[in-house]
Structure 1
Amino acid sequence: MQRRFLHRILAAFACTLLAVPASGSAQSQPAEPNRFAFTQDYEPSPAIWILSDEDTTIYMLGTIHSLPRGFEWRNERIDAIIEEAEELVVESSAYANVPDPVDVDTKLAARIASRLPTSSRLSEAGSVRWRQLIRSTGLDFDTVDTMPVLVALMTLGMSGGEYDTSSPVYGVESVLEQEFLERERPIVSIEDWGEVMYSLLRLDGSEILGELDSSLVAWDGKTASAFFDPEHVARSGNAYWEAEHNWARGIVADNFDIGLGSGAIGRAFNFNLLDRRNAAWAIWLEERLEQPGTVLLAVGAGHFEGDNTVLDMLEARGLVAQRLN
């Protein structure tokens, strides 16, 4: 289970939806000197597509939600699109109104109140490792232990472990939102993120618990990073930021691996965080073409990579988006 993927895909929402009481988070540790330094000797050109008809233009920019300070991703084309766009559409935004949003906090609280703690549903060995994993992140054991498994794994994946210099503050959406606010242009959420979270917290069955138990027993119990990514390698410099550099260069992967394996946990994340949302977004985009205007859609780059992308879902509906760069 790759921690950095969870960090990338959830960074924009962690502060409001995944906050849990902590006792000395490992992320407060200072970064190792120069380990996370990077250089960019290229002109950034993240992938952009255009979907349009006679009176509507939708630019689609694949983003990274969390970036290190000073990471360059803009160019003249992107600046021109930002200037042209009358509306910004993102996955979720504190600045956008969502009609009748799902109250995920209330639903999560109800789910927690009615479920047995995860530790009581694991084998004896798995329960011991589960306690070790949670404690290694500095989070409160009882809080995480009562969460549905997928929500708990996302929370753990966003906490503890190695510290780097990336932050949602420097992520693409945060930067764009500030510019659109300054221009007094509307910001729209393409979905209700609470509904997305609810789709995950409902998945808490025996198959998922069994896979978690097996992973915990196989873990050496030493570091959280080794649990989330058994082949974890402590990279540094530009090698550490390889995914970010590839994105900024406009490289779109033909194969996309969410990093959570092909078992029950990986399938649940893949379907609920990627496939299901991509299909819903394609419907949204098709309906948006019925309204005139120029829109900038800025959503995670993973939704444009691999199979069942939002581009594939558009083509299934008879719509083709052209890549601009």
Structure 2
Amino acid sequence: MTLISRLLSAVLAITLAACGPAASPPAAARVAQEGHPALWKLADEDTTIYLFGTIHVLPAGYEWRDAAIDAAIDRSDALVIEAVIDRTDPAKAFALLSRLGTTPGLPPLLDRVPADKREQLAALIARSRLPQPFLDGMETWSGALMLMPVLMSDLGLDGGMGVEEQLEARFKADGRPIEGLETAEQQLRVLDGLPEDVQRQFLVAMIDDGTAQKAEFDAMLAAWSRGDEAAIAATFDKDVRVSPELRAALLVRRNAAWADWLKARLDRPGTIFVAVGAGHLAGPASVVRMLEAKGLKVERVQ
């Protein structure tokens, strides 16, 4: 997938809650390839923290759990995810996105991309069925987010089939608590704080390489399902050359904050299951490597 499809998984849940995925035919069920998603463990004498890398949006019917993951889930007293999103109230999510991402007097959204990209952007807008004046009033980052469900539809993805949502349902059914490392507003403010030129890179990336997105997503999904840390990290390393600022904002700085939180969480007894996007746990700037740099032992369970 392109930069946007990979890195924006961090804020995809709030986007889909706000505007809903574009209509599309039901996706065919796909079964995970041979192998198992990666799972790590951070522990001391009285605390165990399982670290699980996720894919935030999956094809319908995709099987990803295995015995090791189920055992870790069953042992955990609580679930921790990137952010807890209220998917039952789309109006609330939309109000948040509008409050942070709307500014009067902006140039038309089409004028914020190079001339040779405008025809593609216009086609994307038409497929979204969103009014052009509405999008023109949005900041570049938020206008891009509003168009993202169209790309998810192209990939045959159902926004309600992500790993986190399945985990939330399981913990809720058992009455176990769920908390977020961030709030939805904190996630959106990461994008809201980007310089305008980076926001425009973000928008252009959404309309580039459309023909390659499906194959790249399938390759990333296969790497995740077999726990291939190097292959997952490689997709993010490729994106550094596109927008290092966006990668730093969405990945590196957040990883550092989460590593600090996890280290501090070791001071509280118990067992928790922490599930964040797989790209946050792979590569040299990952949460795992940052924890190891703090002198902590992180064990690969599978």
Aligned to 2:268: 291
1:69 aligned partner, one-letter code? A
Corresponding residue SS for 1:59: strand
The question of 1:28 aligning with 2:23 is answered: yes
Alpha carbons 1:60, 1:296 under 8 Å: kept: yes
Q: TM-score, normalised by structure 2?
A: 0.81
Q: Distance in 2 between matches of 1:161 and 1:137?
A: 11
Does 2:16 match 1:15? yes
Query: Given the superposition, is the C-alpha separation of residues 204 and 149 from structure 1 closer, same or farther in structure 2, using an over 3 Å criterion?
Result: farther
Instruction: Name whichever of 8-17 and 75-84 sits farther off.
Output: 8-17
Cα shift at 1:124: 8.5
1:172 aligns with 2:163: yes
Name the count of aligned residue pairs. 293
Equivalence for 2:131:
140
One-letter amino acid of the structure 2 residue matched with residue 38 of structure 1: R
Task: Specify the SS of the correspondent of 1:117.
Answer: coil
Task: Give the structure 2 partner of residue 58 of structure 1.
Answer: 49
Distance in 2, matches of 1:72 and 1:175, equals 11
Q: CA deviation at 1:169?
A: 2.7
Matched-pair contact (CA < 8 Å) for 1:86–1:293: yes
Give the 3-state SS of the residue equivalent to 2:160 in structure 1: helix
Equivalent residue number for residue 270 of structure 1: 247
Give the alignment's Cα RMSD to 1 decimal.
Answer: 3.4
The structure with the largest alpha-carbon Rg is 1
Please identify which structure carries the higher helix content: 2
In the TM superposition, what whole-angstrom CA distance separates every residue of 1:7-66 from its partner, at most 9, and x where no partner exists?
A: 74444332334x28xxxx8x324268xxx5534452x42101111111100000101111
Where structure 2 has 5 or more consecutive residues not aligned to the other structure, the ranges are 87-92
Rate the CA distance shift 1:212–1:115 in 2: closer, same or farther, 3 A. farther
Partner of 2:6: 5
| Aligned 1:50-129 pairs, distance under 5 A | 50-94=41-85, 105=95, 108-109=98-99, 112-119=102-109, 122=112, 125=115, 128-129=118-119
Does residue 228 of the first structure (1) align with residue 219 of the second (2)? no
Where does 1:234-273 land on structure 2 (aligned, <5 Å)?
Answer: 235=215, 241-253=218-230, 254-257=233-236, 262-263=241-242, 266-273=243-250
Offset of residue 183 of structure 1? 1.0
Q: Which amino acid aligns with 2:223?
A: N
> CA shift at 1:116, angstroms?
1.6
How far apart are 1:92 and its partner, in Å? 1.2
What CA deviation, in whole Å up to 9, does each residue of 1:163-195 have, x standing for no partner?
344324322111111111111111111112311
Question: What SS does the aligned partner of 1:256 have?
Answer: helix
Listed one character per residue, the Cα deviations across residues 294-324 of structure 1 (whole Å, up to 9, x for unaligned) are 0100111010122311112212322231111
SS at match of 1:190: strand
CA distance in 2, matches of 1:118, 1:175: 39
Check the 8 A contact 2:38/2:224 in 1, yes or no.
yes
The alignment-based identity, stated in percent, is 30
Alignment partner of 1:315 out of 278, 292, 302:
292
**8 A Cα contact 1:282 1:313, kept in partner:** yes
CA contact 2:96–2:185 (8 Å) conserved in 1: no
Q: Deviations over 1:192-244 (max 9, x none)?
A: 23112112113243x3377579x59xxxxxxx7xx232662665xxx863322
Q: Which letter does structure 1 place at the counterpart of 2:103?
A: A
Normalising by structure 1, we get a TM-score of: 0.76
